Structure 1
Amino acid sequence: MGSKWRKLKNAFASNLCVYVPTADADDSPPHSSGFSDAALLSPALAGWSIGGSVTRPSSPSLRLSKSFNRSSKKMCTICLASMKRGEGQAIFTAECSHSFHFQCIASNVKHGNQICPVCRAKWKEVPLQGPTGSVPPLGRTRINPVNWSQDNAVMTLLRPIPPRPNSPRHAAAAVYPGPEPTVFNDDEPLDLKISNKTSSVNSSLKRVLVKTFTEVPAVPQFKAADDFTVLIQLKAPTSVSGVKTSSTNQGSTFCQVNQTPRAPVDLVTVLDTSGSMAGTKLALLKRAMGFVIQNLGPADRLAVISFSSTARRLFSLRKMSDIGKQQALQAVNSLVANGGTNIAEGLRKGVKVMEDRRENNPVGSIILLSDGQDTYTVNGSGQKSQLTYELLLPKSIHGGDENSGIKIPVHAFGFGTDHDALSMHSISEISGGTFSFIETEGVIQDAFAQCIGGLLSVVVKDAKVTLESLNPNVSIKLLKAGSYKNRLNADGKSGCIDVGDLYADEERDFLVSVNIPKELTLTETCLLKVKCRYTDPLTKETVNLESVDVVIKRPENLGNEVVVSIEVDRQKNRLQAAEAMVQARTAAEEGDLAQAICMLENCRRVLSETVSAKSGDRFCAALDAELKEMQERMASRHMYEASGRAYILSGLSSHSWQRATARGDSTDGSSLVQAYQTPSMVDMVTRSQASLLGSPAQRLVRPIWSFASPKPA
């Protein structure tokens, strides 16, 4: 008996829940994983390095799980932590024989979910916390299955000791337990000292670089051209922050963020917690959110919205200081999967957080993740879904409210094979964000990492390109800018393209079609004047770049050979492939998969005959591989609906915005679809994989190349 009471004393001292053993109970304590909330979501915050095994946890009760692949008998499939004897947590074994931590499964079923997260069997008996009035004396509380005796001492748990004031647990418990406010103007104030210090740094060490290319360098004097192509290329300044490798005293390597000043971010995450997210999906989402929280800086602010049948703000917009990160981790760990899927309501609440904030960081964005169909407002039927969301969502989502100046891009992530790809793609297109398709659960963290790797490296705000004709006989016929808003005056003498924000090292390529008149005397013709203006996000200063003139030579004769610009041909191929994707998707939605496959095959054949393809251009080769992958995902109706539709829409999003999206089951640089990854994105994905695999970062990811870059020797 004395040994049993010693175990109880130790339990109180460790602030853990344990069984109260009956007289005939085994002396050995039940299974447990002393894996804390912070350790589950953020190993680094619990004393673990990103590399995996660098430092010892601050408490002996923290044991880092070594693998995701442990059997369900040794691992709780809700929190993914191991279940070992002797560590003080109760274990619930269901009638289907699967076991879980009591704390995890009780939280999972208290909202009415009585289905096993592993085998989906319907339970007759579930662990439920007893009513308030039935709390036993001496600070004990009950978690009992339905119809089990309230007096069964084996099922009685000791209540944890309340956290000490100012302790991390006390701070984490401060996350809004009460009702939501009607106005979300409780965002944490910005630190003006940090802002002023950041702004004082000369952030414009390099400016946006503007280049122009003509499809051919010269046109004969006595020949006119009605559809002559000019390429305008923007290149953002190089990265202002990144990831570097460091060594510990034990010789292990891990990644840490370079603290070079950058534009701070306001980030709102809108997360699907419907019933279909139960189990491993929700656990991996929590872990991915833990990675996001780790990598935000003290000047960045984060808010968390969860939605199922309804939506709720779990965490207000707060700075990611040490205490802010702990509170954010607690909020994320409180997520429970149940109910339906109300995407529109979740987005409304996420946008409201952005609109009601009293102060704004230079960069603002929403991350939306869902694994299902919107069962409340949208039926997801083609273009109708986009029109529905335009009516349902605030104007600030539609690329910016002209009166308020708010622009809130939504980066949407379709998770699994059952999500509504059409609606998710529509939301991202409306707002100016990207749509990513996460086919495999295991890469959700890498997908988030790629996204925030870009958001944490914004070096250009509100960029705008203007074009003017330099010759009264030259008119602008067409602007090919993908999804970017562009305007062309009726007289064809001027136009503009709203480029928006640029991540460090990003490129934007726009094609302009003009006419070229005959020349009788001049040896060259001035075509266009290109201007670019943008805002530096750090200094808030407006930068006006020196204009660039587009001029073409006009010799009397060209000779036998005409040199075609590879740069221009490459972008023509990109636009042609994107158009083929649109046409193929339309045919597939109408039920004609054979015609859709034929359209993609015809595009591949045309691309193979282009100058860039024959020269061995990697961009063209990657486009061909991407189109082939889309053909394979249209092999059957089932395959198209499970992955083909989402894969094509993610590809269209990537090419129309010229920005990297996660596609399929990997964000690995070896995948040919990663055309637009920047070094900052690559660094963050490397960091993500290092944290998951526990290996040195430099061994994890093969070199990432851009479609627009020449093949390395």
Structure 2
Amino acid sequence: MLWQRRRDREPAYIVDDEMLPSAISIPSSCLPKVDVMAIPQYPNVIASAPPERFSVLFRINAPSMSEYPDYHPLKRAAIDLVLVLDFNGYIDKKSLKHVRKVVCYVIDHLSSSDRLSIVSSYPKDKKVLPLCLMTEQGKESAKQTVSKLIFTKGPIDAVKVLKIAARILEKRRYKNAVAFIMLLSDRRDQCIIQNQGSSNGEKAIEYLDNLPYSIYPQFSKEMNRNFFKYDIFPVYAFGIGPYHNPVGLHALCSATGGTYSSLETSELLLDAIACCLGGLLSVVTLEFSLTLTQGTVDVEILELNSGDFYSIIRDMEGTSADIKVGNILADEAKEFLIQVSLPKHEIDVLQSESILTFRWAYKDAVTYSGTEVQYFHAVDIGRPQRLPGPLFHYESIQVTRQSICLLVADSISKALNMAEASGVKSARKFLLDIESEITERGSVDHSHSLCRWILDGMREVVRRMERGELGFKRGGHAYALSILSSYDTQRTTITGSPVDLQDHPFQTPNTIEMVRKSRYAQGIRR
């Protein structure tokens, strides 16, 4: 019996992942730095009459790949990528051709230090390519595998397919600095196919509860203490066609820090994959975390607006908080709006008051040495007894912009819940009222790409709601979730139709360049 248990026990490692090449070291003195800047809502606040809530905007700026020494061949982290092809057999020959072309595009743009594995929903929900280095030989083998891919009609076990992908990364003997899962899916949402006016959101994601922690984490107190001790692999999902399950895909990506893109047709798949791949092939920072601590006594941290990134206020008094960002891309900027309450003072505080101290820590992904670096700074504001004019005259425009964008994103999210609970008509009216409120405020900076993008996104959600319940479910809901995924991760997604990335607020030089290459490959000269 003991022998039987040992035989049935799952092996500690998968033995078919290919060994990694030797790493190239870079002296710490040659490594570029990740910068963090804090922008208070007002530079000065009356000592005896602070606002009920005071905002601080934290802006993180990652270095460019060009800042790394030329002798490093990649100037980025090497990656382990599992590509999951989740198609149910209704895919036509033209779409299958697009899928094969997309997978070959991914193969062509991986380096000899990157590894790729492919998992397919057919045949028999299995790994069709083990984790292989993308050397010339590895690429040729991978392309031969892709050329043989077929999909047949019939039931697909989505959980089984994703479990296989997770296990490949969990059980690796050798590990590159970062690992991701790309999920291409046309899995059909029966509520849309059967013309049901609405679907139960909980039902749409209930199958995710059967997934392993590494791709659908349930956060715990233990995780709060040592967040990066646990492997979580970001899932980047691409839902194809009007009938796929946007709620499930979005929930999966949101839980892991990946992004969800909605594609109306398979023709958009190459641009979408290229955009995502441009980001994944430019990771320069690992395990980035931002820790906030009360400065002056009685300053209380009230709220952390961190989107899909894990965050926690560590005590009831709001004296400290954490935001866990994880991987950061080259040239990437991330912003987090924090709300605090300020104490009252009956006398002037000497010159300035440190309301918060903040520490940021991370590991360099290019060297992958495991060494953590830390930096400290403080948020200082003046606390005079009086100001020469009204307080709002001194409000930071950066804080105002982010506050409006946060309001719009929250409103889209609320509208989706409202559409499910009481119908699209009431949700549409709610968004129109929000748009009127913002217009009346007159504080929108239309020259700023983020403000312009999120407001245009909300208007497009409203337009798609005009189609009614079923019309909105066939593409509109997916569009809205893709917009939210982009905002909550502060990364580019494709939302339904082709996008001019030059004007997208979260584009980076690497995403733009990779999309340019994809369009060149398609014969599009723009």
Asked if 1:454 corresponds to 2:279, the answer is yes
Alpha-carbon distance in structure 2 between the residues aligned to 1:549 and 1:609: 36
- CA-CA distance at 1:339 after TM superposition: 2.5
Structure-1 residue corresponding to 2:212: 394
Alpha-carbon distance in structure 1 between the residues aligned to 2:56 and 2:245: 38
- CA-CA distance at 1:240 after TM superposition: 4.4
- RMSD of aligned Cα (Å): 2.4
- CA-CA distance at 1:399 after TM superposition: 4.5
Alpha-carbon distance in structure 1 between the residues aligned to 2:17 and 2:293: 44
Structure-2 residue corresponding to 1:369: 184
List aligned pairs for 1:384-463, cutoff 5 A: 384-389=203-208, 391-399=209-217, 405-463=230-288
Alpha-carbon distance in structure 1 between the residues aligned to 2:149 and 2:27: 40
Structure-1 residue corresponding to 2:291: 466
- CA-CA distance at 1:420 after TM superposition: 0.7
**Structure 2: stretches of 5+ with no match in the other structure:** 1-9
Task: Sort the Cα spacing of 1:275 and 1:260 in 2 relative to 1 into closer, same or farther, 3 A.
Answer: closer
What TM-score comes out, normalization by structure 2 length?
A: 0.88
1:348 to 128, 144, 163: 163
Alpha-carbon distance in structure 2 between the residues aligned to 1:191 and 1:399: 31
Task: Sort the Cα spacing of 1:222 and 1:694 in 2 relative to 1 into closer, same or farther, 3 A.
Answer: closer
Any conservation in 2 of the 1:310–1:345 contact (CA below 8 Å)?
Answer: no
Residue identity in the other structure for 1:363: V
SS at match of 2:308: coil
Structure-2 residue corresponding to 1:75: none
Alpha-carbon distance in structure 2 between the residues aligned to 1:204 and 1:447: 34
Bigger shift: 298-307 or 220-229? 220-229
Alpha-carbon distance in structure 1 between the residues aligned to 2:297 and 2:160: 53
Any conservation in 2 of the 1:309–1:342 contact (CA below 8 Å)?
Answer: no
Alpha-carbon distance in structure 1 between the residues aligned to 2:189 and 2:472: 20
Task: Sort the Cα spacing of 1:203 and 1:462 in 2 relative to 1 into closer, same or farther, 3 A.
Answer: farther
- CA-CA distance at 1:542 after TM superposition: 3.1
- CA-CA distance at 1:440 after TM superposition: 2.5
Alpha-carbon distance in structure 2 between the residues aligned to 1:564 and 1:609: 18
- CA-CA distance at 1:602 after TM superposition: 1.8
Task: Sort the Cα spacing of 1:343 and 1:582 in 2 relative to 1 into closer, same or farther, 3 A.
Answer: same
Task: Specify which structure has the bigger relative contact order, considering alpha-carbon pairs within 8 angstroms and separated by 6 or more residues.
Answer: 2
Any conservation in 2 of the 1:270–1:368 contact (CA below 8 Å)?
Answer: yes
List aligned pairs for 1:64-75, cutoff 5 A: none
Q: Deviations over 1:459-501 (max 9, x none)?
A: 1111111011111121111211112111112221111111111
Asked if 1:586 corresponds to 2:414, the answer is no
Any conservation in 2 of the 1:308–1:339 contact (CA below 8 Å)?
Answer: no
Q: Deviations over 1:161-191 (max 9, x none)?
A: xxxxxxxxxxxxxxxxxxxx98733100111
Q: Deviations over 1:289-328 (max 9, x none)?
A: 1111000000000000100584111110000000100011
- Report how many residues are paired: 491
Asked if 1:644 corresponds to 2:462, the answer is no
Asked if 1:558 corresponds to 2:393, the answer is no
Asked if 1:521 corresponds to 2:348, the answer is yes
Task: Sort the Cα spacing of 1:236 and 1:265 in 2 relative to 1 into closer, same or farther, 3 A.
Answer: same
Higher CA-based Rg = 1
Task: Sort the Cα spacing of 1:308 and 1:615 in 2 relative to 1 into closer, same or farther, 3 A.
Answer: closer
Any conservation in 1 of the 2:290–2:322 contact (CA below 8 Å)?
Answer: yes
SS at match of 1:483: coil
Alpha-carbon distance in structure 2 between the residues aligned to 1:667 and 1:311: 33
Asked if 1:337 corresponds to 2:151, the answer is yes
- CA-CA distance at 1:400 after TM superposition: 8.8
Residue identity in the other structure for 1:230: V
Any conservation in 2 of the 1:273–1:282 contact (CA below 8 Å)?
Answer: no
Alpha-carbon distance in structure 1 between the residues aligned to 2:500 and 2:265: 13
**Structure 1: stretches of 5+ with no match in the other structure:** 1-180, 243-257, 701-713
Residue identity in the other structure for 1:299: S
Structure-1 residue corresponding to 2:317: 491
List aligned pairs for 1:46-445, cutoff 5 A: 184-192=14-22, 195=23, 197=24, 199-200=25-26, 205-240=31-66, 259-308=73-122, 310-340=124-154, 341-373=156-188, 381-389=200-208, 391-399=209-217, 405-445=230-270
Alpha-carbon distance in structure 2 between the residues aligned to 1:309 and 1:576: 46
Structure-2 residue corresponding to 1:631: 462
Bigger shift: 604-613 or 424-433? 604-613
Q: Deviations over 1:97-144 (max 9, x none)?
A: xxxxxxxxxxxxxxxxxxxxxxxxxxxxxxxxxxxxxxxxxxxxxxxx
Task: Sort the Cα spacing of 1:481 and 1:470 in 2 relative to 1 into closer, same or farther, 3 A.
Answer: same
Alpha-carbon distance in structure 2 between the residues aligned to 1:502 and 1:342: 33
1:476 to 301, 323, 328: 301
Identical amino acids, percent of aligned pairs: 31
Task: Sort the Cα spacing of 1:684 and 1:425 in 2 relative to 1 into closer, same or farther, 3 A.
Answer: same
- CA-CA distance at 1:331 after TM superposition: 0.8
Residue identity in the other structure for 2:187: G
Structure number having the greater helix percentage:
2
Alpha-carbon distance in structure 1 between the residues aligned to 2:341 and 2:413: 28
1:510 to 313, 327, 336: 336
